[in-house]
Amino acid sequence: MRRATLAQGPALASEAVTDAAEPARARLDAATAGLEPPFAVVDLDAFDANAADLLRRAGGKPVRLASKSVRVRALIERALGAGLQGILAFTLPEALWLAGHGHDDVVVAYPTADRAALRELAMGGGGGGRDRIHERVTVMVDSREHLDAIRAAGASAAAPVRVCLDVDAGWWPLGGRGPRIGTKRSPLHTPAAAAALAREIAARPELVLDGLMSYEAHIAGLGDRPPGRLGALAGAAIAGMQSASGRELAARRAEVVAAVSAVAPLRFVNGGGTGSVERTAAEAAVTEVAAGSGLFAPTLFDAYRSFTARPAALFALPVVRRPSAGVATVLGGGYLASGAAGGDRLPRPVLPAGLRLDRQEGAGEVQTPVTGEAARALRVGDRVWFRHAKAGELCERFDAVHLIRGGAVVETVPTYRGEGMTFL
């Protein structure tokens, strides 16, 4: 597996034992010497470099920020300040909250069944920074039931609700009769199905068709350089699947966009994610790409051939006991990532370099033993630095993140959780 190395500049973390690992560890330990672990940090140098790299990879197309992959308002604002445009939110209450904080152009990436939030949207907000909220927040739909829920919430032609069509980006190599590759999301797959729902939207005065989204998770969120003994083989198979699916999707997406645009004009066509930025941005029918994970660069995003992001988010846990000479046990650590359970969802101890999780215990609810050569030198009170497997989920574990620039903590900012906002 290719590793995110410390040789790329002041990046902070690697499980590989390199000459740069000890200075990186010393820098992190020194910058946070006044803090008591557990705590989380974001390295602003790496974060900013990652933001610039996402924009470079998009080749001039706008990059919409997937907020679920950040979940820290100050860092969302930082990414937007760096040039990302608009927010792809993960729940409607989150989108309303962000709009209340002054954000415009917030698209909720997943359908909602939240009647209270839909009512608030349908009523157009009403003061406290939520004025004309129906013009600033767009909700995702893929079926008539979603349209009916908006109508039932009281939407009217006086303040129509903006909707975005979610179109399946999966690959059906045998035309629907065989396996379907991709995530199980929208039932809309064909241009005809998308156009039919677009006509239904156009016929309802309380709705405005705003955009179209089709997210190719099996390309954008699946690394083609997986770790492990069979990694090379699996990587080749994944890359083959992705390029065949990518070709089919590009052709179908163009047809879908043409069919839907014939019904009503589209303000945006969104696709992609961190793992597919350049590929998706290259499609003429796509007007913007989405990305978020590439900012924090969690471990699952080490496994791509087409780009290397710098690990920006880490968390530190204190060594609290030494069960034996070769094992050090840290407090906490069981911060597992969502998805199909497997070793790749576990957090990874990265500094000091050369640590491993214990096979029997993994990452524990309250205690996590680490082994490996470097464990021998650890003492009670030392820190072990970890990376999470995914991006924003880390922030559900901490009220705040400490922002590091160079060798110092320059600011401490609340996560969504720290603001009392746990949306999922």
Ligand X SMILES: Cc1ncc(COP(=O)(O)O)c(C=O)c1O
Residues that bind ligand X (CB under 6 A): 66, 69, 88, 109, 215, 220-221, 273-274, 290-294, 391
Least separation in angstroms between CB 86 and ligand X: 12
Least separation in angstroms between CB 289 and ligand X: 8
Least separation in angstroms between CB 64 and ligand X: 8
- Peptide bond before 352: cis, by omega within 30 degrees of 0? yes
Question: Toward ligand X, which CB reaches closer, 150 or 277?
Answer: 277
Question: Toward ligand X, which CB reaches closer, 24 or 66?
Answer: 66
CA distances from 190 to 179, 270, 342 (A): 16, 17, 33
Sequential DSSP letters for 122-144: HTTB-STT-BTGGGTEEEEE-SH
Least separation in angstroms between CB 376 and ligand X: 37
Least separation in angstroms between CB 21 and ligand X: 27
Least separation in angstroms between CB 183 and ligand X: 8
Question: Toward ligand X, which CB reaches closer, 130 or 304?
Answer: 304
Count of CB atoms within 10 A of residue 177's CB? 8
Least separation in angstroms between CB 319 and ligand X: 32
> CB nearest ligand X: which residue?
273
Q: How many residues does the chain have?
A: 424
Element (H, E) at 3: none
Give the CA count within 13 Å in the CB-facing half-sphere of 83.
Answer: 18
CA torsion 358→337→182→221, rounded to 10°? -90
Question: Toward ligand X, which CB reaches closer, 209 or 220?
Answer: 220
Output the six-digit token pair for 228.
């492990």
Least separation in angstroms between CB 194 and ligand X: 16
Beta pairing, strands 288-291 & 268-271: parallel
Question: Toward ligand X, which CB reaches closer, 97 or 301?
Answer: 301
Question: Toward ligand X, which CB reaches closer, 65 or 153?
Answer: 65
Output the six-digit token pair for 57.
């990879």
Among 147, 123, 148, smallest CA distance to 137 is for: 123
Question: Toward ligand X, which CB reaches closer, 171 or 328?
Answer: 171
Least separation in angstroms between CB 273 and ligand X: 3
- CB contact at 8 A, 177 and 225: no
- CB contact at 8 A, 357 and 349: yes
- Alpha helix segments (H runs only) across 125-283: 144-152, 191-202, 217-220, 231-261, 277-281
Output the six-digit token pair for 20.
């740069």
Using DSSP, state whether 35 is helix, strand or coil: coil
Using DSSP, state whether 387 is helix, strand or coil: strand
Instruction: Output the CA torsion sign for 342, 174, 274, 102.
Output: negative
Question: Toward ligand X, which CB reaches closer, 49 or 317?
Answer: 49
Question: Toward ligand X, which CB reaches closer, 88 or 118?
Answer: 88
Q: How far is CA 15 from the centre of its chain?
A: 22
